[in-house]
Amino acid sequence: MSAAIVGLGMTEMGKVFGRTATDFAVEAIGRAAADAGLGLADIDGLYVNPGVKNDTDLRLQSTLQMRNTRLLATIQGFGSSAGQMVQYAALAIEAGMADVVACVYADAPLKEGKRAGASYPGQARAMEGVGSLPFAAGLKAAPERYAVAARRHMEAYGTTSEQLGAVAVAARQWAAMNPAAQMREPITLEDHQSSRMIADPLRLLDCCLVSNGAVAIIVTSAERAATLKQPPVHVWGWGQGHPGYVNRRGSEFGLVTGAAQSGADALKMAGVGVDEIGVRELYDCFTYTTLVTLEDYGFCAKGEGGEFVASGAIAPGGSHPTNTGGGELSSYYMWGMTPLSEAVIQARGQGGERQVPDHDLVMVSGNGGVLDFHSTLILSPHRKTR
Amino acid sequence: MSLAPVVRDDFSAPFFEALAEGRLLLRYSLSSGEWSEPAARFCSLTQADDLEWREASGRGALVSWTVKPGRPVDDRPAADAVIGVVETEEGPWLTLLLPDADVALLRVGAPVEVAFVQPEGSEHLPVGVLRS
């Protein structure tokens, strides 16, 4: 496989009001094309990933006045979508279906004057039938559903709230060095411990941000990438893992996620060992998600994620730099485009003061649902040699 | 925090009929001899499509849980909501509100018994009672 990411476009992200998801998407695609040194007319493939509000779609093609579209689809794998879009773009390019594929995520859930929590009310499901029993019992939104997963991990392995806090503190330390981050004020473990309880054991500072905005990337062949403006970011390997948890005895829910399958497949395809990865950009909807993904990818043993993050390994200066832009916890919440955008920046060596010196191999995760859907990418500034 | 109302559909009618009589039904596969959760259309172990409703013991043990802080309304304090994932004796997991649960008793394996309540405008719904 010889595809590369050659363009990255990000809009202003966060509490940006008065613009629709489509407005953001159009801007991000334009920026990504310009970043690559391409024009909109060069794009002949488009994948659209609408966010939770689901208010942008294939009509982006006509909004952009695209006339030579050979590949067009909406991709919906929730938080795993960004990684999936790159995978399908690489396959399509390899198959000759398209030459230059734009992949975009856009959403505008925040409304002026409304709480962030109101952006995801979770009441969309009809309260009819047995499928709505968990909702009726109170598991309505993401925090309480992830709380049940985190609690299971804590009880099984002794993971503590302070260890989750270490993930939040590290993310904020990275965000302080990211001009695009929404939250750059330093926080301490004490701040984490005293932050409001959202759904025990998850506190406010265990939870990601909510952001309006869009991120787009451009994928093309490695050959064409070599002729473009930016240093290419080559796609070495990928995987997906969708565990299909069943609600019954023996379920690994909360203990092992789709990252185990997806990460192993991606490493195998890339032909690299996990110890060779220099940078980790992991989907961090909650602090716990970072921790369990580190375990499932094999950066530490199962059950030792708590001690691993508390050791400072993932923070600036640590042995395993992770979520170097501040992640969804502190920078911006663009689903899987949050880790993917920072991965592109790091792989290019454009991280400025937060640049990780060893950026030859970057591992990127995407996670959707409640640990239900997972994608992985392994990226490198070098053409694949093995 | 109270239960949100749920209404029946064709599939769930026997389940809610039984709840109103104080009985918990789960899905049972004749071919595999395994139990599945109430929402299952296929056996959660073998994917067999021969599930039928069958009465379960109504006893289980706590697998995991969360505690959602109550949101005060008009300065009136609201009770926290304890929501547990309960593994029934038969194997399937149920997500249950544990009304008035003593958080000191929350631990993996804590015995739970299913009880039945009927919120306004709703079918009878299962809840969990922690046993010490």
Taking only the tens place, the pLDDT of each residue in B37-85 is 999 999 999 999 999 999 999 999 999 999 999 988 787 888 899 999 9
Beta carbons of A274 and A298 less than 8 angstroms apart: yes
The predicted structure's pLDDT at residue B1: 56
Amino acid A125: pLDDT:
45
Residue-by-residue pLDDT tens, chain A, 386 positions: 699 999 999 999 999 999 999 999 999 999 999 999 999 999 999 999 999 888 899 999 999 999 999 999 999 999 999 999 999 999 999 999 999 999 999 999 999 988 877 776 555 444 899 999 999 999 999 999 999 999 999 999 999 999 999 999 999 999 999 999 999 999 999 999 999 999 999 999 999 999 999 999 999 999 999 999 999 999 999 999 999 999 999 999 999 999 999 999 999 999 999 999 999 999 999 999 999 999 999 999 999 999 999 999 999 999 999 999 999 999 999 999 999 999 999 999 999 999 999 999 999 999 999 999 999 999 999 999 87
Task: Provide the greatest CA pair distance for chain B.
Answer: 56
Which position among A146, A283, A288, A332 bears the catalytic label? Answer: A283
Judge whether residue B15 has pLDDT over 70. yes
Q: Mind telling me how many Å the CA of B69 is from chain A's nearest CA?
A: 7
pLDDT at residue number A122: 56
Q: What are the extents of the domains in chain B? A: 13-130
Other residues' Cβ atoms within 10 Å of the Cβ of residue A312: 16
Cβ neighbours around A248 below 10 Å, total: 20
Question: What angle in degrees, to the nearest 10, is found between the helix axes of A337-348 and A81-94?
Answer: 60
Q: Is A88 among the catalytic positions?
A: no
- Cα A223 to the chain's mean position, in Å? 27
Give A43-66 as a DSSP string: --EEEEEE-TT----TTHHHHTT-
Q: Which residues pair with B76 in a beta bridge?
A: B73
**What pLDDT score does B76 carry?**
81
The b/e string for A188-221 (b: 16+ C-beta within 10 A; e otherwise) is ebebbeebebbbbbbbebbbbbbbbbbbbbbbbb
| Residue that has been written with the tokens 């960004």 in this structure | A82
Candidates B38, B83, B93; nearest CB to A138: B83
- Which stretches within A158-203 are classed as H helix? 161-175, 189-194
Whether B91 and A248 lie within 8 Å, measured CB to CB: yes
* Torsion sign over Cα B58, B81, B14, A246: negative
For chain A, residues classed under CATH 3.40.47.10 are: 3-110+211-219, 141-209+235-386
Verify whether the Cβ–Cβ distance B11 to A130 is below 8 Å.
yes
Per-residue confidence (pLDDT) for residue A215, from 0 to 100 = 98
d(Cα A245, Cα A252) in Å, to the nearest integer? 7
Domain A141-209+235-386: CATH architecture, name and number where available: 3-Layer(aba) Sandwich (3.40)
Which CATH fold topology does A3-110+211-219 show? Peroxisomal Thiolase; Chain A, domain 1 (3.40.47)
Cβ separation B92–A147 shorter than 8 A: no
